Structure 1
Amino acid sequence: MASIKLSVERLTEGLYIKLPLQWTDHPFLLNHFKIKDQQQIRLIKNLGVKYVFLIPEKSDVEPRSPESQSEAISEQESQFLDRQAEKLWQEKQGRITRLKNYKRKLQRCEKSFGRSMAQLRSIVGKIKSRPVTAIKEAELLVEEMVEALLEADNVALHLMNDGKENEDVYFHSLNVAIISMMLARSCGMSQEEIKNIALGALFHDMGKLKVPTAITRKATPLTEPEENYLKLHTKYSLDLANLADDFPEAAKPILYQHHEMLDGSGYPKQLKGDQIDIKAQLVAVVNAYDNLCHPQDHNKARIPYSALSYLFKNKRKQYNNDHLGLLIKLMGVYPPGSVVQLSNKQLGLVISVNSESLLYPNVLLYDPSVPSNEAPIIDLEENNLRIEQAIPPHKLPEQVHTYLNPRIRISYYFDPDD
């Protein structure tokens, strides 16, 4: 939007302005905002700036005329303004401290995610030649993840870094396991049930290792024979699990039934309703969500918001509605990875969501006056902002896309909110 250089003497309530300062050089939360009262005007003047940038399209009024006289400020008013400025500075320092702590938490989460990915790669590498060893290692991985999941009352789901394209099977399996575990927790399932769901989810697509990569990585529509070959992966996953005597029986239906649908339109047995194991029903919903976000043809990928909306509007007859509703509550109306426009017209990237505040996730803001590695992450509810719409990343201007860096591969991990 076009901006106009405006003397601070012409400021009035209702103008939308941008400060000519770095984010760390003033006490306001954002570099640009709509002026709401005379106190803000006086605080701006106390910053020592001679001008600001006016954005007319977002302003409610015209600036004051150049001839109008500014009111004198009494000593008492000046002291009050100083106290208010100090209060704002303290609040902002608190926000900066929380932001640093939040980013440290994200770094811990990234490390945990990286360790889990490395373990999963090792497990997959052994699944054919040493299935017993692979399954024992998978059980240890699941044990660690379940302990992390259950050790706090409130667990946040975070957006992770991109994965490599040739590692889709790892990221998909870990994604489905992570979200399925959190969904099982939301359902009130026991620790043992959560472990079985996590193990089944980790191995649900391992049968694809026995399907030619020309099929599993084909971006164009599969032929009918290719489609039938791909559908065999549910059988192959179960075959791999059966190579180890101690693979939990309770987890096996997940391997074989995660593509069954409640209306009987799924495969391999066209099971209906209660014929499908409840744990397989849960993983099926999560599997469908992640597949919508990451199809083989990346041009058909849906943004997280659109994927959830599609499942809710079009697939309620095929998937367990309780699980689908809880998935939406868990992921939030705007899941991590969503590019959004806020009520102040600012753009941002949702990086984490808490199930207690579905409409108010944590958003990394696009602000070209702040370096991208220092971009503020804000809690929308705390800042009286709301999301107006989700935006497909390909529709972003290039500079915004580069700054926010929306992921092609959206992966998640949790961290106890301690």
Structure 2
Amino acid sequence: MRMIELVGRGTAAAALELRDRPPAPGFGEALYDELVEGLGRVAAGIRRRCRVRLGRIVGTVCRWARTGDPDGSLLRRSLEPYPAEELIARHSANVTVLSLTIARAMGLDEASRVNVALAAAAHDLGMAALPEDVVLKPSAFSEGERRVLEGHPSLGFRLLRNLGPKAEPAARAAFEEHEREDGSGYPRRLRGDAICLEAKIIAVADTFEAMVHPWPVRPAVPPHQAGAALAKDLRGRLAPRPVRALLRELTPFPPTTRVRLSDGRTGTVWEVRPAAPLRPVVRIREAGGTRNVDLLRHPSLRIAEVLPDPGPGQRPH
């Protein structure tokens, strides 16, 4: 048994015991649901202007930081659609999943992963304090609305600081998560090395999560398009190292995913290579049987659409 000390106040104080044993089946799913529920309660309390504490959320994200996502269930959950009324809780939980995926891929130690997880979970809780017509506005923000929006990181910062001195790195990361490498972020227009590594990691996760789910101002895009945007369109704004780490770990088309290719043919993802997750091998069913199409060998082809799973009794192709 190992111990990670978490100095704080109230229900988040003392220490968390972490046992060296593999997680039980369904462990990741249960942790995800637990975090979404906890974040939802905190967000509801913020909306009611109640005094809130992170409490059980601390224990949940620390267990995540220890166990990771051995069966990929957390990453799959992070790509699921969710209703608008769950936006803050589900977005924050998904950013936590993605941030920990990046942190682990970058080789961060356990204490750093805990800081990343805490900051990711709390980074957007301040959105719950904003007027709903601003958060859910389907058009561009006015200058006044943007100033209101850019003040929201301060609440997550304060919630984390209330856990005690050892939560200071997490509090800083939550406050700096919306800063960008080129100085175009907020709230302090920091750039480059002035932004802590944990915040840079969460920024990549936050950007990707917002792309693959619909927001009031824009529709969702498929994961492979979001990954391509991270790699190409956002250079200069996001730190390259966390971007590369996410793209290495991300499998937007896991095996058995039904897809439509850009030439109209449909098939099932058959093999995914870590070095080229956006160019898998797709098994196509044809009149004479099946054949594999390696998208690495066919650069003019791409996956144009992810298809829903077939219903009971239906053929997968």
TM-score over 0.5 (shorter chain): yes
Q: How does 1:254-269 map to 2 (within 5 A)?
A: 254-269=173-188
Q: Which amino acid aligns with 2:159?
A: L
Q: What is the distance in 1 between the residues matched to 2:211 and 2:83?
A: 18
Contact 2:258 2:309 in 1 (8 A): no
Match of 1:83 in 2: none
Choose from 175, 182, 186 the match for 2:105: 186
Q: Give the gaps of 5 or more residues in structure 2.
A: 1-24, 286-290, 296-300, 312-317
Contact 2:254 2:269 in 1 (8 A): no
Match of 1:159 in 2: 76
Match of 2:170 in 1: 251
Q: Which amino acid aligns with 1:230?
A: L
Match of 1:172 in 2: 91
Q: What is the distance in 1 between the residues matched to 2:66 and 2:211?
A: 29
Choose from 177, 199, 212 the match for 2:131: 212
Q: How does 1:5-404 map to 2 (within 5 A)?
A: 109-126=28-45, 129-131=50-52, 134-149=53-68, 158-160=75-77, 161-245=80-164, 248-297=167-216, 299-332=218-251, 334=253, 340-341=259-260, 345-348=265-268, 355=274, 358=277, 384-387=292-295, 388-392=301-305, 403=310
Q: Give the gaps of 5 or more residues in structure 1.
A: 1-104, 368-382, 394-399, 405-418
The TM-score, its normalising length taken from structure 1, stands at 0.56
Higher relative contact order (CA 8 A, sep 6+): 1
C-alpha change, 1:212 and 1:389, in structure 2 (3 Å) is same
Relative to structure 2, which stretch is displaced further, 205-214 or 235-244? 235-244
Partner deviation per Cα, 1:150-172 (whole Å, 9 max, x = no partner): 8x6x8676423532220011111
Q: What is the distance in 2 between the residues matched to 1:168 and 1:287?
A: 13
Q: What is the distance in 2 between the residues matched to 1:366 and 1:159?
A: 24
C-alpha change, 1:155 and 1:302, in structure 2 (3 Å) is closer
C-alpha change, 1:300 and 1:360, in structure 2 (3 Å) is closer
Q: Which amino acid aligns with 2:175?
A: Y
The TM-score, its normalising length taken from structure 2, stands at 0.72
Identity %: 24
Residue 392 of structure 1 and its aligned partner are, at CA, apart by 4.3
Contact 1:173 1:203 in 2 (8 A): yes
Contact 2:258 2:266 in 1 (8 A): no
Residue 119 of structure 1 and its aligned partner are, at CA, apart by 3.1
Residue 354 of structure 1 and its aligned partner are, at CA, apart by 7.5
Partner deviation per Cα, 1:269-295 (whole Å, 9 max, x = no partner): 111110111111111111111112235
Relative to structure 2, which stretch is displaced further, 202-211 or 353-362? 353-362
Secondary structure of the equivalent of 2:68? helix
Q: Which amino acid aligns with 1:346?
A: T
CA-atom RMSD in angstroms: 3.7
Residue 312 of structure 1 and its aligned partner are, at CA, apart by 1.5
Secondary structure of the equivalent of 1:259? coil
Residue 200 of structure 1 and its aligned partner are, at CA, apart by 0.1
C-alpha change, 1:307 and 1:109, in structure 2 (3 Å) is same
Q: Which amino acid aligns with 1:296?
A: W
Contact 1:254 1:277 in 2 (8 A): yes
Moved over 6 A (4+): 335-339, 360-363
Contact 2:256 2:268 in 1 (8 A): no
Relative to structure 2, which stretch is displaced further, 352-361 or 278-287? 352-361
Q: What is the distance in 2 between the residues matched to 1:349 and 1:269?
A: 44
Q: Which amino acid aligns with 2:266?
A: Q
Q: What is the distance in 1 between the residues matched to 2:294 and 2:101?
A: 25
Match of 2:4 in 1: none
Secondary structure of the equivalent of 2:235? coil
Q: Which amino acid aligns with 1:390?
A: I
Partner deviation per Cα, 1:181-224 (whole Å, 9 max, x = no partner): 11101111010100110000000001111111110011122211
Q: Which has the larger radius of gyration?
A: 1
Secondary structure of the equivalent of 1:266? coil
Q: What is the distance in 2 between the residues matched to 1:253 and 1:326?
A: 22
C-alpha change, 1:341 and 1:116, in structure 2 (3 Å) is same
Q: What is the distance in 2 between the residues matched to 1:219 and 1:170?
A: 20
Secondary structure of the equivalent of 1:265? coil
Match of 1:95 in 2: none
Residue 122 of structure 1 and its aligned partner are, at CA, apart by 3.3
Contact 1:142 1:195 in 2 (8 A): yes
